[in-house]
Chain A
Amino acid sequence: MLIELKDVNKTYFGAQPLHVLKGINLGIERGEFVSIMGASGSGKSTLLNILGILDNYDSGEYKIDGKLIRDLSEAKAAEYRNKMIGFIFQSYNLIGFKTAVENVELPLFYQGISRHKRHTMAMEYLERLGLKDWAGHYPNEMSGGQKQRVAIARALVTKPDIILADEPTGALDSKTSVEIMDLLKDLNEKDKLTIIVVTHESGVANYTNKIIHIKDGVIGQIEENRAHDSVKFGSEGPLK
C-alpha cells in the first residue's frame, strides 16, 4: 500500500470550529490512477493538502510507503514533498519571472542537484511533453495548455511516488482539458505513475480508474471505473 490513511481527522478552529475531515480511511496502491470527487466544502481540498503534506491533521495516521507523516518540522515536510510528491495545480503555479525550463528545474534545485545536470533533466521532460522549443519562454508567453504541461513536467522531474493534481483542467477549455487528461492517463499506463486527481467534475473523474466520493468529510462510495462509463460521455458536455 503506497498511501494509507487511518481515521484521519481535521478540525479548523475558528470562531466556529469546523470539523472538515471526520475519520478518513483510505488506501491507494502504487500505480493507481484515482480521482477524489466531491462538491466544494466536502473536505476534498483539505484531504489533498494533507496528502500533499501541505497541512497537518489532528488525529489518525497517514503513511506514505510505510513512512508515518505526522508532526513533521517544516524542513522535513519540505524534504518529503520534494522527494515524494509532484504537484499539479489548477492555476499552474508557475513562477512568472522564470522561464519554462527554470520552473521545471526548481524542484531539482531544492534537491541540490548541479546546475548542468538540472538543466539536462528539465529539458528531457520538457521534450517529452512537446515543449522543447518553449523552454526559454516565460509563462505569460504560453497558452494555458502549455503552462499546465510545464507544470506537469515540473511535477514529474523529481520522479515522485505520487502525483497530486488539484483540478488540473479547471482553468482550461474543453479541448485542452481532454489533452491534459489523456496525458495523465498515458503517464499512468506507460510509466506506472500513481496519480491522484482531485476534482468536482465527473467528466474528469471518469478518466481515472477509481473514483473516490467524499461528502461532508467522510468517504462515501468508492467506484471502480475500469470501463470509464461512470458518467456518460457528453451527458454534461465532453468534460464540462
Chain B
Amino acid sequence: MRDLISEIWSTLRQNKLRTTLTGMAVSWGIVIIIVLIGTGNGLMNALMNNTSDEVQKTISVYPGMTSKAYNGIKEGTSMRFTDRDLVFSEQFSNKVDRASGNLEFSDTLSLGTETVTSEIYGVDPLIKDIWRVRIVSGRFINKSDLRDRSKHIVIDQNVATQLLGDDQDFSKLLGRFINVGNIPFKVIGINEAEEQSWGHWSYIPYTTAKTMRTDGAWLNRITLEFNGLEAKAENEAFENAYKKAINTFHGFDPEDTRTTYLQNSFLSNQEVSKAIRIMRTALWILGFLTLLSGIVGVSNIMLITVKERIHEFGIRKALGAKPMSIMKLIVVESVAITAFFGYIGMVIGMIADYFLDKTIGSHPMDIGFMQMYIFKDIGVGFDVALKATLLLIVAGTIAGIIPAWKGARVRPIEALRAER
C-alpha cells in the first residue's frame, strides 16, 4: 500500500496544475451537496419546529356547528363539549386510551403594578408535545398538577419580561407568585415565545381551570390518545365512526361532518415525514448530479493521463506488471484525487453551513403578520458526512475504471511503440 501511495504521489506531482483544476471540480460538487443538504435540513428543521421526537398518537377534536336542521335542532347550532364528552370518548372504543380537555379563557396577569392580558389555557400535560411548547426555564404542567388542581402557571418569555420590566432576566420570575385575575398562581415554567410575535399564551392545569370556570364554560378541545390504528384507512374509518357516534350522543345528524373538526397527529406527522423524505431525496439527487459533473471531469483527466503514460505502462508491463496492477494504479490515483479534493470540499461546505446557520439560520424572517424561521439549525450530521465520503470513494472508483481498463488492456508492444 505504501508503495502504491508513493507511486501515485510521484505521478501526481508531475501534473500539479492539472490535478488541482480537476480536483476543484470535485470539491465544488461536494460543497454544493453539503450546502444543499445543510440548508435543506435547516428548512426541514424549521418545518418540523425542531422536534423530531416521536409524538404520542393523538386526535384533537374541535367543536363546530351543525350544517343542517335535524330532528328539531336548527342549522347552525354549536357543538358544545363538556366533561360528559370526555367520558363518552373514553368509552367509545378500546382504541382510545384517554380523553382530555382544554379549557381556554383570557384574563389579566399581574405582578405588583405591571399587568398583561393573556390567553389562559387550561391543559393536560400532553399538550406540551402536541403544541411543541418549548420550555426555556423550569418545567411544564405535569400529572400531579392536574391531580392536585395546583395553582401553577407556565408563562412565555414576553409575558415574563413585561411583568418584570424590560431590563430583568425573565428566569427570575420562576417560583414567584403572579395574579391571574385576583387568584395568585406560582410560576413553575417559562416557555419560548419567539414563534408568535404577539398574543400571550399561558398554561395552567385543566383541572384548575375548571374550578375557575364554575359558570360552565365549554371545552375548546378534546384530545384523544389512541393506540393501534397503523394504516391511514384504519385512522379514517375510526375518525368517521367517532364523528357519527358523538353526533348521535348530542342528538345531531350522524352524517353531519361540520359538527366536529378532527386533527390526527399521527396522520399529519406521516404527511410531514413523507414530504421531508421526498425533499431529502430530491436534494441528494441534485447534489449527486452536480458531483457527477465533477466525476466526469476526473474521468476525462484520467483518460488523458492514461494516454500520456501509455509508454510507461508498456515499460512496466515488459518488466512484469500484470494488467491488474496497472488498473489498481489508475483507480487508486483517481480515488485519491476525488477523496482528497472531496474532503476539502466537505470542510468548505461545512464551514459554509456554519456561516449560513449563524446568519439566515439565526434570524427570523418577517413575513408581515408574524416573524418565523425559514431555516433552523442549518448543517449536516456525521452520517451525511460519512455518506458523502463513501459516495466520493465510489465516485472516484467509477471515474477511474474506464481509463484504468484502457490502460490495463493495451498490449505491451503497442504501448512500448507509443509516442512519449
- Residues in A lying within 8 Å of B, measured CB to CB: 49, 52, 54-55, 74-75, 78-79, 81-83, 87, 89, 93-95, 97-98, 106-107, 109-111, 115, 154, 158
Residue B133 at the chain A interface, CB threshold 8 Å: no
Q: Give Cα A49–Cα B317 distance, bound, in whole angstroms.
A: 13
Q: Give Cα A223–Cα B192 distance, bound, in whole angstroms.
A: 104
B319 near A87 (CB under 8 angstroms)?
Answer: yes
Question: Which residue of the partner chain, among A79, A87, A93, contacts B322 with CB atoms under 8 Å?
Answer: A79
A97 near B413 (CB under 8 angstroms)?
Answer: no
Q: Give Cα A81–Cα B321 distance, bound, in whole angstroms.
A: 9
Q: Which residues of B have CB within 8 Å of A158? A: 320
Q: Which residues of B have CB within 8 Å of A55? A: 411, 413
A74 near B322 (CB under 8 angstroms)?
Answer: yes
B14 near A97 (CB under 8 angstroms)?
Answer: yes
Q: Give Cα A106–Cα B3 distance, bound, in whole angstroms.
A: 11
In the complex formed, the residue of A with least CB distance to B318 is A87
Question: Which residue of the partner chain, among B2, B11, B13, B320, contacts A78 with CB atoms under 8 Å?
Answer: B320
B1-38: CB near A (< 8 Å → 1, else 0) gives: 01100000011011000000000000000000000000
Residue B256 at the chain A interface, CB threshold 8 Å: no
Closest Cβ of chain A to B238, distance in Å, is 68
Question: Which residue of the partner chain, among B3, B10, B13, B320, contacts A82 with CB atoms under 8 Å?
Answer: B320
Residue B412 at the chain A interface, CB threshold 8 Å: yes
Interface residues on B, range: 20 to 34
Q: Give 16 A-B pairs besides A54-B412, A106-B319, A110-B320 with Cβ atoms closer than 8 angstroms.
A: A49-B413, A52-B318, A54-B411, A54-B413, A75-B322, A75-B323, A75-B324, A78-B317, A81-B318, A81-B320, A93-B318, A95-B315, A97-B11, A109-B3, A110-B316, A115-B3
Q: Give Cα A55–Cα B412 distance, bound, in whole angstroms.
A: 8
Segment 148-183 of B: residues with Cβ below 8 Å from A: none
A83 near B320 (CB under 8 angstroms)?
Answer: yes
Q: Give Cα A189–Cα B279 distance, bound, in whole angstroms.
A: 78
The 6 closest A-B pairs by CB, nearest first: A82-B320, A110-B320, A75-B322, A107-B319, A78-B322, A93-B315
Q: Give Cα A89–Cα B412 distance, bound, in whole angstroms.
A: 14
A79 near B320 (CB under 8 angstroms)?
Answer: yes
Q: Give Cα A115–Cα B7 distance, bound, in whole angstroms.
A: 13
- Residues in B lying within 8 Å of A, measured CB to CB: 2-3, 10-11, 13-14, 312, 314-325, 411-413, 416
Closest Cβ of chain A to B412, distance in Å, is 5
Q: Which residues of B have CB within 8 Å of A87? A: 318-319
In the complex formed, the residue of A with least CB distance to B412 is A54
Q: Would you give 10 A-B contacts (Cβ < 8 Å), ordered by A?
A: A54-B412, A75-B323, A78-B323, A81-B320, A93-B315, A94-B315, A97-B13, A97-B14, A110-B316, A115-B3
Closest Cβ of chain B to A138, distance in Å, is 11
Closest Cβ of chain B to A176, distance in Å, is 22
Closest Cβ of chain A to B324, distance in Å, is 7
Q: Which residues of A have CB within 8 Å of B2? A: 115
B318 near A54 (CB under 8 angstroms)?
Answer: yes
Q: Which residues of B have CB within 8 Å of A75? A: 322-324
A81 near B413 (CB under 8 angstroms)?
Answer: no
Q: Which residues of B have CB within 8 Å of A81? A: 317-320
Closest Cβ of chain B to A170, distance in Å, is 14
In the complex formed, the residue of B with least CB distance to A52 is B318
Q: Which residues of A have CB within 8 Å of B411? A: 54-55
Closest Cβ of chain A to B245, distance in Å, is 78
In the complex formed, the residue of B with least CB distance to A92 is B315
